[in-house]
Structure 1
Amino acid sequence: MSFLRQRHSNGAGEQDVEANAGAEANPAAASGSNSGSQEAKRNSQDESHIKFPGHLPTPRPSTAAGRASGDLPEYEALDRYITNYDAERRASMMSVSGSSRKPKKWWQFWKSTPETIDENPISDEGKPPDHWLNTDLKQGVSSSQVEERRKRFGWNELTAEKEDMLAKIFGYFQGPILYVMELAALLAVGLGDWIDFGVILGILGLNAFVGFYQEKQAADVVASLKGDIAMKAMVVRDGREQQILARELVPGDIVLVQEGQTIPGDAQLICDYSRPQDYDEFIQLRNEEKFDSDPTEVPNGNDKPGDEKGKNGEEKKAEESDDESIHFGQPLIACDQSAITGESLAVDKYMGDIVYYTTGCKRGKSYAIITTSARYSFVGKTANLVQGTKDRGHFKAVMDSIGTTLLVLVMFWILVAWIGGFFHHIPIASPGVQTLLHYALVLLIIGVPVGLPVVTTTTLAVGAAYLAKQKAIVQKLTAIESLAGVNVLCSDKTGTLTANKLSLRDPYVAEGQDVNWMMAVAALASSHNIASLDPIDKVTILTLKKFPKAREILREGWKTDKFTPFDPVSKRITTECRLGKDRYICAKGAPKAILQLSSVTEAIRTEYNHKARDFARRGFRSLGVAYKKNDEDWVLLGLLSMFDPPREDTAQTIVEAQALGVPVKMLTGDALAIAKETCKMLGLGTKVYNSTKLMQSGLSGTVQHDLVERADGFAEVFPEHKYNVVEMLQQRGSLTAMTGDGVNDAPSLKKADCGIAVEGASEAAQAAADIVFLAPGLSTIILSIKTSRQIFQRMKAYVQYRIALCLHLEIYLTTSMVILNETIRPDLIVFIALFADLATVAVAYDNAHVEPRPVEWQLKKIWVVSIILGMILAAATWIARGTMFLRSGGIIQRFGSIQEVLFLEVALTENWLIFVTRGGRTWPSWQLVGAILGVDILATIFCLFGWLSGSGGGVMQTTPPGAFNNSSNGWTDIVTVVVVWAYSIGVTVFIAIIYFVLQRVDWINDLGRKDRHYRDTRLENILIHLNKLAVEHEKDSHTGADRYFLVEKAAEEEEE
């Protein structure tokens, strides 16, 4: 029997019944219908009422209506569900608010963190005591037992090693760039320069604090929303079924495993959901050790594939499959274990078999018992083997490349300075100020951007927090960089491009048939599990509000014997049911699949096909409906037409996406005619192809890749087609984003450069995605692309700015050391580095423009532009220094300190450079302006009052000597300060003009840009040819040796 569960809380309107139609990967939609394979039988003459036996207590719904129908027979409860749906939806929505709890802030150490289990499990290899697994199917685990078991096994979730806060803080002092600064600090200690040592430590500490604080704040925002996408499980607890978070499960819990769900933990299958009476047999077989499944064994992928049905012998007869494992009865469910075994086909699972944590259930519904917690599951043990291993990622590779190059450059400039120093007879180390080690210290401090790792990571973290507030949960920070560079978006149709509101339009009724009887048969050929209705089943059932006579038919006393959900082979759903002594098979599904069941006249066939094509041309999905009574022939009843209208903002959003250089390709399971009509309504174009024919045609590899690139969409898409489309686009150099919502979408989401799980996605899809959206529609995705480009622009502006700063001082100081035997004092250099970091921490909050095309790092362009900017800055500093050799003293009109004057000029021109590299399309944020203005005022005060100016004896003597009046106390005249400000403003304006010109030089703009339309004809043809081959295995009849052959795959039969 199909047992009823808790009421569903989605809504339906009076005229257009809404249903969550987010099953794009469901090939039911692939032919313009909700297809499946089920069978049923009905007797319309016998109206005797047959009681629906309830073997288990049903859940306690929250509404009075729910309680009233808790123990009703199946079809009476279904009728009550139709009547009370709207009222229960409103009540459920009102009761949801206020259930979330705010997370504890990082600084609120006095508050206790909720739901924290600190105890270490004391179990032996994660195996619970045997009596824990003898849970009663009706009662489940009690609340008191849950607490005891959780103390031993902890939460049912995979967590990283417990993070040591002290180790995390020390992590902010690690890395190539930071090691150089630490080396500089040790060098300062060796030279007895305690001021420099203290300031360097201050810089390191400041960077660590800012990085830690910003990442923590961003993580809190993301974590507060991640609860919305946490995995959930239906469990039997305290004698009733209830939905809980999967992390709350404990060994011995009885869970319900059903189609579309991610397995919440390693569990042993008990019995079919409709046959709880088989529980006793399960216990008996387990006690007799008949099951050979071991939760600790590695799944080998050799289980019986899901498309190989079990033998039709006695229901509980043990079967021996080809892999020599023994199965009992018929398959209970089919699981997708591709994530852990690589086996692409679904694997049938029988009574006593183990289903593995995080794998996906593709078919069926069953009871199972949790055998261990997540950390001791197969997946958990695998995760422990790679604990601490981190993906380097493209972003980290770019940062390491920049850091390594800067390190090589600083070593080069130190070598040049030392060579020049030897010619000036400067000692390596001595009590004097001018030593080669002092030169090395200065170059080490300015040669590496100590704030680069922190500022870039902070920018990403702040961006992730902002996206979280926009209902986009970033699961990996580097996904922001990928999303910014996306140049193709492959989007599913339902719920993203369309409104996700299925409505049933006027049906087509075959000649001589009754519309009420057709609607009743369609409802019979639907799932009656109210807690998890398929979108099309849901709209079919709720539409019965408009067909009261059909509801009367359902009240006659039907009894469901077997329900078979959709499968892509038969493309239909069937239910076997009884009314009195008559047996019925009711079916609904793809129009062609239903038509093939029945023998109808040519006139009815022609009219039926004409109506199906007419519905498709109007953008409607169509479902054929038929039934069979006892041993009679199948009777064709007609067609249901369903429509999911486009979202109001989709057409405009697509135009906006195209303006951003991101063409949208629609991937839908609907029939070709429906897909074309939808594309027309959305303005996507009419180049829509049948994906099956495209992938299995005789086209060469290059032609197939060209078709994929030019296509506006694909119809009749299966999960493997999505994967192939993404793969072909990537082979052509495209950075591809893919949206998905189903279990079957997980491979393509993993394959895509940026996998996006749309609103309402299954747990498996969310786990595979880089970004999870909690809001519906394409506009949310486009908003995220814009935001990610702004984040990328901030990082790129900072990186270019920081490289130019390093080159500026390296070029000037090295040439100054070689030519003049002079440098800026190390303490002032340290403060220049400190001011640069202080000023640019606010970059993470800066306003940034949205690039009109996909962005990429273009490191060659960054280096070329940075070198030019660095050379201009160095030349400007040389001009300021050179004028001081004039008899008038140059910019030092009356008196002043050359060290402080150079310090102020360098600080001002470097700080203002960020205004240049950030671009001029948006005004800078007040945070950035405030930070830079504050640092500039501080640098001016240093110059005016000669802070850290040192003693007069510390004044460096140049070769040749200068003719200016250098102050001995470090003070600088106010007029000189004004002149330095004016001069620095002039330099910044000149640099801005040069930068503006450089951005408009085509060959510079194309430096480092990837070819997004790369093609390798030979490789593409080889890959397509390999896709058409299969490996055949046979044993030699004489020698028994294994032989393997490469053969061409059999072509699938094409439908009309």
Structure 2
Amino acid sequence: MKFPREERSLVLTRWSKRRRTVVLKFIMFFVGPIQFVMEAAAVLAAGLEDWVDFGVICALLLLNAFVGFVQEYQAGSIVDELKKTLANTAFVIRDGTLVEVQANEIVPGDVLQLEDGTVIPADGRIVSEDCLLQVDQSAITGESLAVDKRHGDSTYSSSTVKTGEAFMIVTATGDSTFVGRAAALVNKAGAGTGHFTEVLNSIGTTLLVLVIVTLLVVWVACFYRTVKIVAILRYTLAITIIGVPVGLPAVVTTTMAVGAAYLAKKQAIVQKLSAIESLAGVEILCSDKTGTLTKNKLSLHEPYTVEGVEADDLMLTACLAASRKKKGLDAIDKAFLKSLINYPRAKAALTKYKVIEFQPFDPVSKKVTAIVESPEGERIICVKGAPLFVLKTVEDDHPIPEDVHENYQNTVAEFASRGFRSLGVARKRGEGHWEILGIMPCMDPPRDDTAATVNEARRLGLRVKMLTGDAVGIAKETCRQLGLGTNIYDADRLGLSGGGDMAGSEIADFVENADGFAEVFPQHKYNAVEILQSRGYLVAMTGDGVNDAPSLKKADTGIAVEGATDAARSAADIVFLAPGLSAIIDALKTSRQIFHRMYAYVVYRIALSLHLEIFLGLWIAILNKSLNIDLVVFIAIFADVATLAIAYDNAPYDPAPVKWNTPRLWGMSIILGIILAVGTWITLTSMFVKKGWYCSKLWWS
């Protein structure tokens, strides 16, 4: 098959590089309201030759920048990890000849050969007639079971062909592929300012305005008193240092670091300290299904057997049609062999049969076939596979009674509606006819503690939404068992892949009210998180695969679960080494305790700044005198040392998501600051009146 070269895009498979330089990243941590005040104070201290204050302020600046830089730099390898999933070479038809080329030389319009083991290097569409491929899309969807691809179906970069051969025409390469867009989404998600940074900047900006107002009052008073410029600069330095809590970032970082160390003991590795604050306020958890809500292990359920057939006979036949080699075992064969413990007669008989011939799963016939010999020497053909294909095998041999046929098909439909993956089982003994034995349903069951954990999450004010690459039926059944609600929809209804026609506000309502989405791709997850955030929610996202990296980076708290890929770990804020949802809920409780400590400290620190600023500013303006500048600096900077103990405070956790209630925070801080300022004024005035100038010589510089 040949395509005109002019119909191809000239854009090659290349990855765009959008990373800022390391130096620029580091410099950006010296930008911000609190940082600007600290830098101005450092310049003033240097001008006044106050080298002690200059050194302390510079040390705090470097400490804050270093901690923030280390946290952010860890995300720099995410795109590299995404690239690792791509193929290096591919076989392409060029001018009627099949040639091997580098993956970065592939362009849209090329025709690629696909066969067993091929890692697909670009997005495309199957063009071969009468073909059936089994493709592993776990790198994109996160689901381990292969999916079928036929003529006209789409294939995606980084997927792997398990079985089958076909040709595909390339439709997208590089940044235009699903994986490419995932990398672009990671870059886009990483460009924003974190929630905690916004809160600190807001506090710093407000305090900076108050400092400027106080300085204006002091400067005006000094102007009318003709105070010397050196004294004015010393007053300015003192008010600048005490007016903005220069130690706030360092102390808050230390508090979160202590909390992170505590979480590490619970097998939760915090990669970005500000994620602790975000997790405390999370209102919606978007969770993947496999491995987090479920065990990631297929298990068998109560089988349907045709009248006259015992469950042990069905189980024995199904296990005979399974590979016995450890390397050849797939998830389904493992599930059947492990479930033999519940069928003692089948288990005892299995080893007595001799396998003569075994044919692994055929994607065309949709069956596994084994020819075995019974202990009595009878030859038996055993098959298991897609229920309707197994049924057709029997029908081709002889007519099936109408009632058996109807019951069988109804059961297939019932199992499908309940989210089960069903396998039909049949056998042929000797020269006899094919016998239909029944249907064995299987599914990835919920973890034992998940239902209780979901209820606990609900009590903590946390809504759990499931986002999975599995089918809608499977997702609904899992949610039903967990009590999550069954408003599960196909992700195409979001309108994020061209399949929806809802308006923006309608989509937002739709996502907000849904209990989850099935058959999702990276863009669906990313946009679901983005839509929820646009409604003002703090959102956490769990994931383990390359497909989850964009949404993990976009979420307020990205959570990589047990067994996550390197790309997911790099994108996540917190990496869990323990499986299941319960570990996440435990970490959420701990994060709320840590938030309680931080909130209490911030209130205290703002109150202290207001206290010193109000008192000293008015004292200078009214009496033209100041406390000893070194004493002021000591109080302003080193008072934080004593409060480090708050990181170990036995604080409670709130029963609901916690946020920075800014009006309440400022209200408490202002009241405390005024009370402290008035108390200090009264105390010093009393001492001044009582002891006169003797006391003043001890206090004034």
How far the C-alpha of 1:421 sits from its partner, in A, is 1.0
Identify if the C-alpha distance between structure 1 residues 458 and 171 changes in structure 2 by more than 3 Å, giving closer, same or farther.
Answer: farther
Report if the CA contact (8 A) 1:594-1:625 is conserved.
yes
The match for 1:184 among 41, 45, 61 is 41
- Quick one: distance in 2 between partners of 1:628 and 1:719? 38
**Partner SS state of residue 608, structure 1:** helix
Identify if the C-alpha distance between structure 1 residues 660 and 323 changes in structure 2 by more than 3 Å, giving closer, same or farther.
Answer: closer
Report if the CA contact (8 A) 2:367-2:390 is conserved.
no
The yes-or-no answer on 1:405 pairing with 2:206 is: yes
How far the C-alpha of 1:855 sits from its partner, in A, is 1.5
Match of 1:623 in 2: 422
Q: Which amino acid is 2:216 matched to? A: L
How far the C-alpha of 1:783 sits from its partner, in A, is 0.6
Consecutive unaligned residues of structure 1, counting only runs of 5 or more, are 1-157, 232-245, 248-261, 271-281, 340-345, 350-354, 367-377, 430-434, 566-571, 901-954, 957-1056
Tell me the TM-score normalised to structure 1 length: 0.49
The yes-or-no answer on 1:481 pairing with 2:481 is: no
Aligned runs of 1:144-223 on 2, under 5 Å?
177-178=34-35, 180-192=37-49, 194=50, 197-202=51-56, 204-205=58-59
Match of 2:576 in 1: 773
The match for 1:268 among 79, 88, 93 is 88
Give percent identity, aligned residues only.
41
Match of 1:658 in 2: 458
The match for 2:440 among 622, 633, 640 is 640
Higher helix share: 2
Aligned runs of 1:234-383 on 2, under 5 Å?
264=84, 267-268=87-88, 290-291=98-99, 293-297=101-105, 359=158, 361=160
Identify if the C-alpha distance between structure 1 residues 779 and 587 changes in structure 2 by more than 3 Å, giving closer, same or farther.
Answer: same
Q: Which amino acid is 2:276 matched to? A: I
How far the C-alpha of 1:616 sits from its partner, in A, is 8.8
- Quick one: distance in 2 between partners of 1:847 and 1:493? 34
C-alpha distance after superposition, 1:164-186 (max 9, x if no partner): 9xx99999988653554454344
Report if the CA contact (8 A) 2:134-2:161 is conserved.
no
- Quick one: distance in 2 between partners of 1:392 and 1:705? 23
How many equivalent residue pairs?
638
How far the C-alpha of 1:538 sits from its partner, in A, is 1.7
Report if the CA contact (8 A) 2:211-2:239 is conserved.
yes
Report if the CA contact (8 A) 2:540-2:558 is conserved.
yes
Tell me the TM-score normalised to structure 2 length: 0.70
The match for 2:228 among 424, 427, 438 is 427
How far the C-alpha of 1:814 sits from its partner, in A, is 1.5
Q: Which amino acid is 1:871 matched to? A: I
The match for 2:595 among 769, 792, 810 is 792
**Partner SS state of residue 607, structure 1:** helix
Report if the CA contact (8 A) 1:335-1:361 is conserved.
yes
Structure with larger Rg: 1
- Quick one: distance in 1 between partners of 2:676 and 2:216? 22
C-alpha distance after superposition, 1:217-266 (max 9, x if no partner): x99xxx9xx9xxx99xxxxxxxxxxxxxx99xxxxxxxxxxxxxx87465
Match of 2:518 in 1: 717
Report if the CA contact (8 A) 1:493-1:666 is conserved.
yes
Identify if the C-alpha distance between structure 1 residues 511 and 740 changes in structure 2 by more than 3 Å, giving closer, same or farther.
Answer: farther
Q: Which amino acid is 1:291 matched to? A: V
Report if the CA contact (8 A) 2:135-2:159 is conserved.
no
Identify if the C-alpha distance between structure 1 residues 703 and 510 changes in structure 2 by more than 3 Å, giving closer, same or farther.
Answer: farther
Identify if the C-alpha distance between structure 1 residues 477 and 191 changes in structure 2 by more than 3 Å, giving closer, same or farther.
Answer: closer
The yes-or-no answer on 1:439 pairing with 2:239 is: no
How far the C-alpha of 1:338 sits from its partner, in A, is 7.3
How far the C-alpha of 1:291 sits from its partner, in A, is 3.1
- Quick one: distance in 2 between partners of 1:586 and 1:338? 32
Match of 2:3 in 1: none
How far the C-alpha of 1:826 sits from its partner, in A, is 1.1
**Partner SS state of residue 685, structure 2:** helix
- Quick one: distance in 2 between partners of 1:269 and 1:207? 49
Report if the CA contact (8 A) 2:462-2:657 is conserved.
yes
Q: Which amino acid is 1:588 matched to? A: G
**Partner SS state of residue 672, structure 2:** helix
C-alpha distance after superposition, 1:176-230 (max 9, x if no partner): 53554454344344445x4xx31442454377569979999x99xxx9xx9xxx9
C-alpha distance after superposition, 1:97-147 (max 9, x if no partner): xxxxxxxxxxxxxxxxxxxxxxxxxxxxxxxxxxxxxxxxxxxxxxxxxxx
Q: Which amino acid is 1:414 matched to? A: L
Identify if the C-alpha distance between structure 1 residues 722 and 597 changes in structure 2 by more than 3 Å, giving closer, same or farther.
Answer: farther
Identify if the C-alpha distance between structure 1 residues 408 and 818 changes in structure 2 by more than 3 Å, giving closer, same or farther.
Answer: same
- Quick one: distance in 2 between partners of 1:880 and 1:198? 29
Identify if the C-alpha distance between structure 1 residues 744 and 609 changes in structure 2 by more than 3 Å, giving closer, same or farther.
Answer: farther
How far the C-alpha of 1:829 sits from its partner, in A, is 0.8
**Partner SS state of residue 691, structure 1:** strand
Report if the CA contact (8 A) 2:320-2:350 is conserved.
no
Identify if the C-alpha distance between structure 1 residues 746 and 573 changes in structure 2 by more than 3 Å, giving closer, same or farther.
Answer: farther
How far the C-alpha of 1:336 sits from its partner, in A, is 8.0
Match of 2:303 in 1: 507
How far the C-alpha of 1:804 sits from its partner, in A, is 2.0
**Partner SS state of residue 272, structure 2:** coil
Report if the CA contact (8 A) 2:257-2:273 is conserved.
yes
**Partner SS state of residue 215, structure 2:** helix
Identify if the C-alpha distance between structure 1 residues 579 and 766 changes in structure 2 by more than 3 Å, giving closer, same or farther.
Answer: farther
Identify if the C-alpha distance between structure 1 residues 622 and 799 changes in structure 2 by more than 3 Å, giving closer, same or farther.
Answer: same
Q: Which amino acid is 1:508 matched to? A: Y
How far the C-alpha of 1:539 sits from its partner, in A, is 0.8
How far the C-alpha of 1:330 sits from its partner, in A, is 9.2
How far the C-alpha of 1:832 sits from its partner, in A, is 0.9
The match for 1:394 among 187, 191, 195 is 195
Aligned runs of 1:835-874 on 2, under 5 Å?
835-874=638-677
How far the C-alpha of 1:401 sits from its partner, in A, is 2.8
C-alpha distance after superposition, 1:474-493 (max 9, x if no partner): 34333323221111234455
- Quick one: distance in 2 between partners of 1:510 and 1:398? 65
- Quick one: distance in 2 between partners of 1:835 and 1:575? 74
* Alignment root-mean-square deviation, CA: 6.0
C-alpha distance after superposition, 1:378-401 (max 9, x if no partner): 99xx99x999x9753222232233
**Partner SS state of residue 101, structure 2:** coil
The match for 1:820 among 614, 620, 623 is 623
How far the C-alpha of 1:836 sits from its partner, in A, is 1.6
Identify if the C-alpha distance between structure 1 residues 798 and 554 changes in structure 2 by more than 3 Å, giving closer, same or farther.
Answer: farther
- Quick one: distance in 2 between partners of 1:507 and 1:725? 37
Identify if the C-alpha distance between structure 1 residues 723 and 691 changes in structure 2 by more than 3 Å, giving closer, same or farther.
Answer: farther
**Partner SS state of residue 653, structure 2:** coil
The match for 2:335 among 539, 543, 548 is 539
Identify if the C-alpha distance between structure 1 residues 425 and 498 changes in structure 2 by more than 3 Å, giving closer, same or farther.
Answer: same
How far the C-alpha of 1:417 sits from its partner, in A, is 0.5
- Quick one: distance in 1 between partners of 2:247 and 2:590? 23
Q: Which amino acid is 2:539 matched to? A: T
Report if the CA contact (8 A) 2:295-2:446 is conserved.
yes
How far the C-alpha of 1:333 sits from its partner, in A, is 5.5
Report if the CA contact (8 A) 1:694-1:704 is conserved.
no
The match for 1:691 among 489, 495, 504 is 489
How far the C-alpha of 1:784 sits from its partner, in A, is 0.9
Match of 1:450 in 2: 246
Report if the CA contact (8 A) 2:426-2:438 is conserved.
no
- Quick one: distance in 1 between partners of 2:411 and 2:694? 95
